[in-house]
A and B are shown apart, each in its own frame.
Chain A
Amino acid sequence: MAGGRPGRRFWGASVVIAASWGTLGLQSAVAAPASITLYSAQHEQVVDMLTAQFTKETGIAVRVHKGEGPELASQLLAEGTHSPADLFFTENSPELVLLDEHGLLAPVDPATLARVPAADSAPDGHWIGLLARENVLAYNTRLISPDALPASLMDLADPSWKGKIAIAPADADFLPLLSVVIKLKGPAAALAWLQGLKANAAIYDDDEAIVVAVNRGSVPVGVINSYYWQRLATELGPDGMHSAVYHFGDHDVGALVNVSGAAVLTSAKNPSGAQKFLAFLATGQAQRMLAQSDVDYEYPLVPGVAANPALKPLDQLSPPSVGPAALGDDHEAAALLRESGLI
């Protein structure tokens, strides 16, 4: 509906004049009726694969706005009811919890919710958990032997690890990890842990960079989600890998399993289309597509869908007993991260 965005049309016509074919072409594409707008913090390739299949099946086009999870969450908060978004798909649950606390999330279709274990979704049914990802250590097999690796993530703050570890505090995966440390060890211990990390660690932008650095031997150990190690292994092949994944055991904080989930916004312009997309994400077909691809290394949460065989089976992991509901939003973690000076 072209009339839906008068301001934009007006500006487009008056400012752009006839010159910008590319931009104008895009605007008319954007105005197609049966479309939904997705704010996505999931990997672009994964989302591309899913949206292409969804559009093929339903005819509903998906416009995707990408960003880091916390960035998009804070953007959605700022936009409020003006948000162009219909739904939000992110890698970590705390961002969804945050939006739900602000009343921005609409109830998910009960039939969709029923397809995944209740413990992995919001207790109030306002967002659905779809995939899970495991926090691990990546270590360079030439630089460190497996038995020298720490029993707990907390040990990395010890001075003996100085110069040996890499972290990415600005990556969306770091905040939930810190949240669980706060939850289980208390804020004071968490801050001390961060200060230890700050003294010990090399700072990277994101998990992708850490895994590459560890693999080539710039740093012996890095804190990442296992996902990124698998992607690098697929990319480089066995000959290119000089690193391995270490799983924390014994319900250690470092063994956190994050839930990647999605939700429909209360301000959605096309709520039915958005609900359809959520339902599609929770189908065995979509989950199998992800599990069998070489771009996504997350555990499907729909029962009966086998995870990618490259991953250690979900039931053999030993995560801390903090579910997404108990993990809460990242509010406290972000404040503590700033207090430590890591960001």
Chain B
Amino acid sequence: MPEAAAPHEALRPSRGGLVARGRLVQGLQVAAACVAPLLVLLPIGATLGQAMAGGIGPLLHELARPLVGALLANTAGLIESTMACCAILGVGVAWLIERTDLPGRRVFAALAACPLAVPPFVTSYAWLSMSPSFEGFGGALLVVATAYYPLVYLPVAASLRGMDPALEESARTLGLSPFTCFRRVVLPQLRPALMGGMLLVALNTLTEFGAFALLRFRTFTTEIYAAYRTGFSGPETAALGLVLLVLCLGCLGADFILRGRRHYARIGRGAKRAALRYELGLSKPVWVVLLVGLNAVTLGVPLAMIVFWLTQRGAAAITPAEVAPARVIGATLNSIGLGIAGTALTMLLALPLATLATRHRGWLTAGLERTGFLAQGMPGIVLALALVSVVIGTVPVLYQSDALLLVAYAILFVPLALVGIRSALVQAESRLEEAGRSLGLTWFAALRRITWPLAAPGLGAAAALVFIAIATELTSTLLLAPIGTETLATELWANGSTLAFAAAAPYAAIMTAISIVASWVLVQRYGAAPLLARQEG
């Protein structure tokens, strides 16, 4: 019916106009997708530029200082020990839960992911408040190992669940003892998950600041802060930041290379059987007691210490600030407010990038996306100092503003949002949207009726993760928060670092509560996978 089509044609813009508009939209989309990667590159470039400001000679001189060597030794020692502890705990717990007839497996499985919801900075406060003997290497190892072992547990457990029992059965039939079978058949299959998890542990240990500062364990983050406090904010501090940045990006690179190789695929057809479960037999109670003990250490003690200090009178003498309800409420509102605003900005920056990367594959989009992921290797302290130096020199009005703090959050947590948004968009394939369009839906209607309902839950999970991360963020908040803006994290820091434990308790309690409740809701709705994405990116 050509005569009916004519008026429609008349309403549409000419074909040439459509193409031009398409190009414009595409151009805008690419431009929007570039914002996040550029923001991520900004502090890296600024740190590099600042460190090199005096030329390569002075930089080398800085790097050759004895302090750098001492810090490298300190950091390497802690990371190796932490990785070993996390590997043993993670694999051990995963094996018990996934491969034995341990009673209460479901409860233990839920508990094993929980430490990820308690910031290590809070855990370290709890241990330190129990006894000062947790200061130093031992305490630092305890705090990070118990905080990060889920990073190994979660992927290893998933890998154990997915394993085909046929291989193990063959090995056993061929005469391998259970232990040799584990070592020669199971462990190699676990290696990709295990290595990936351990690299995440290393990365998180490198960038942790609050816990080590409270526990007086000297690493790059704490010494960068010390140099800053002593009045050095120039090339000297940037040189330390550069070393840390290189270490972090190295971990990230190793993880990236490993990811390309981490496939042990089952090629056979048909469904595999559920994985084998070994009977624990008489040793069952021993393992239950051990697991209960582990959870007492990872969760029980920290939470109990917070509750204990809540019941103590605010100790006046070494309390930096009066614990007035108004102060606690103010800090809570600030944390939540900054959390919401920061999440909005982070999602806004990540959305165009993730959309482009999932819908238009290519070297450019992949490169942009990977650049966004670099932020995972960005220690908060390096980021904050770089932003301060850039902003004071160029846009002083942004200095000490909420806007700059929000930008810092967005840079730090853009990888988190990217992972979440990507998995959400995979649910809402573009083909479905195109089908809707071809059936006559407008662009907006297709988005509202097809893409949005499919992607919304995943986007919600991503936003929730970013929110948790921002509401508990310490380092960049400490350095960038506008005058008078105190958050739960900075209040806990102010009190905890001067050993005013009772005064710190309300802040620790609220922070932990926000994080646990938000994580709980998340896990209930989407399973534990997003929780891992929080760290993994």
Residues of A within 8 A of B (CB): 5-8, 11-12, 15-17, 19-27, 29-30, 37, 43-45, 48, 63-68, 70-71, 73-75, 78-79, 82, 84, 95, 169-170, 172, 175, 203-206, 208-209, 212-213, 216, 218, 231-232, 234-235, 294-295, 330, 334, 337-338, 341-343
Interchain CA distance A64-B321 in the complex, whole Å? 13
In the complex formed, the residue of B with least CB distance to A341 is B66
Interface residues of B in 457-509 (CB under 8 A from A): 482-485, 494, 497-499
CB-defined contacts of A342 to chain B, threshold 8 Å: 67
Known contacts A26-B484, A84-B483, A204-B216: A19-B227 contact under CB 8 Å: no
CB-defined contacts of B230 to chain A, threshold 8 Å: 68, 70-71, 169-170, 172, 175, 334, 337, 343
Known contacts A23-B485, A205-B213, A343-B67: A79-B399 contact under CB 8 Å: yes
Q: Supply 24 A–B pairs (Cβ within 8 Å), ascending by A.
A: A7-B395, A8-B398, A15-B341, A15-B345, A15-B402, A19-B337, A19-B344, A22-B337, A22-B338, A29-B484, A44-B320, A73-B231, A74-B233, A78-B388, A78-B392, A79-B399, A204-B216, A208-B318, A231-B318, A235-B315, A334-B230, A338-B232, A342-B67, A343-B226
Find the residue from A16, A74, A79, A84 having the highest chain B CB count within 10 A: A16
Once the chains bind, are A78 and B233 in contact (CB under 8 Å)?
A: yes
Question: Which residue from B317, B337, B403, B483 sits with its C-beta under 8 Å from A11?
Answer: B403
Once the chains bind, are B341 and A68 in contact (CB under 8 Å)?
A: no
In the complex formed, the residue of B with least CB distance to A66 is B494
Once the chains bind, are A74 and B231 in contact (CB under 8 Å)?
A: yes
Interface residues of B in 368-399 (CB under 8 A from A): 388-389, 392, 395-399
Interchain CA distance A235-B320 in the complex, whole Å? 12
**Interface check B53, CB cutoff 8 A:** no
Once the chains bind, are A234 and B316 in contact (CB under 8 Å)?
A: yes
CB-defined contacts of B498 to chain A, threshold 8 Å: 208
**Interface check B322, CB cutoff 8 A:** yes
CB-defined contacts of A212 to chain B, threshold 8 Å: 132, 499
Once the chains bind, are A19 and B67 in contact (CB under 8 Å)?
A: no
In the complex formed, the residue of B with least CB distance to A21 is B337
Binary contact track B45-69/A, C-beta < 8 Å → 1, others 0: 0000000000000000000011100
CB-defined contacts of A213 to chain B, threshold 8 Å: 132, 135
In the complex formed, the residue of B with least CB distance to A204 is B216
Once the chains bind, are B132 and A45 in contact (CB under 8 Å)?
A: no
Interchain CA distance A309-B135 in the complex, whole Å? 33
CB-defined contacts of B322 to chain A, threshold 8 Å: 45, 48
Residues of B within 8 A of A (CB): 65-67, 70, 132-133, 135, 213, 216, 218, 222-223, 226-233, 236, 315-322, 330, 332-338, 340-341, 344-345, 388-389, 392, 395-403, 406, 482-485, 494, 497-499
Once the chains bind, are B484 and A12 in contact (CB under 8 Å)?
A: no
Known contacts A341-B70, A343-B226: A48-B321 contact under CB 8 Å: yes
Once the chains bind, are A64 and B483 in contact (CB under 8 Å)?
A: yes
Once the chains bind, are B402 and A12 in contact (CB under 8 Å)?
A: yes
CB-defined contacts of A29 to chain B, threshold 8 Å: 484
Task: For the A-B complex with A23-B402, A44-B320, A235-B317 known, give 13 more contacts whose Cβ atoms are closer than 8 Å.
Answer: A16-B406, A21-B333, A22-B336, A23-B485, A26-B485, A44-B321, A45-B322, A75-B233, A82-B392, A172-B230, A235-B315, A235-B318, A341-B65
Interchain CA distance A338-B345 in the complex, whole Å? 40
Q: Give, as a whole number of angstroms, the nearest-CB distance from B411 to chain A.
A: 14
Once the chains bind, are B231 and A71 in contact (CB under 8 Å)?
A: yes
CB-defined contacts of A70 to chain B, threshold 8 Å: 229-231
CB-defined contacts of B70 to chain A, threshold 8 Å: 341
CB-defined contacts of A23 to chain B, threshold 8 Å: 334, 337-338, 341, 402, 485
Interchain CA distance A169-B403 in the complex, whole Å? 34
CB-defined contacts of A43 to chain B, threshold 8 Å: 320
CB-defined contacts of B316 to chain A, threshold 8 Å: 234-235, 294-295
Q: Give, as a whole number of angstroms, the nearest-CB distance from A277 to chain B.
A: 15
Q: Which 6 A-B pairs have the closest CB atoms?
A: A22-B337, A22-B333, A20-B337, A70-B231, A11-B403, A170-B226
CB-defined contacts of B226 to chain A, threshold 8 Å: 169-170, 205, 343
Once the chains bind, are A334 and B231 in contact (CB under 8 Å)?
A: yes
CB-defined contacts of A338 to chain B, threshold 8 Å: 65, 232, 236
Once the chains bind, are B229 and A67 in contact (CB under 8 Å)?
A: yes
CB-defined contacts of B229 to chain A, threshold 8 Å: 67-68, 70-71, 170, 172
CB-defined contacts of A66 to chain B, threshold 8 Å: 494
Question: Which residue from B333, B401, B494 sits with its C-beta under 8 Å from A7?
Answer: B401
Once the chains bind, are B132 and A203 in contact (CB under 8 Å)?
A: no
Once the chains bind, are B344 and A17 in contact (CB under 8 Å)?
A: yes
CB-defined contacts of A20 to chain B, threshold 8 Å: 336-338, 340-341
CB-defined contacts of A6 to chain B, threshold 8 Å: 397
CB-defined contacts of A12 to chain B, threshold 8 Å: 401-403
Once the chains bind, are B320 and A7 in contact (CB under 8 Å)?
A: no
Interchain CA distance A82-B498 in the complex, whole Å? 31
Q: Give, as a whole number of angstroms, the nearest-CB distance from B151 to chain A.
A: 28
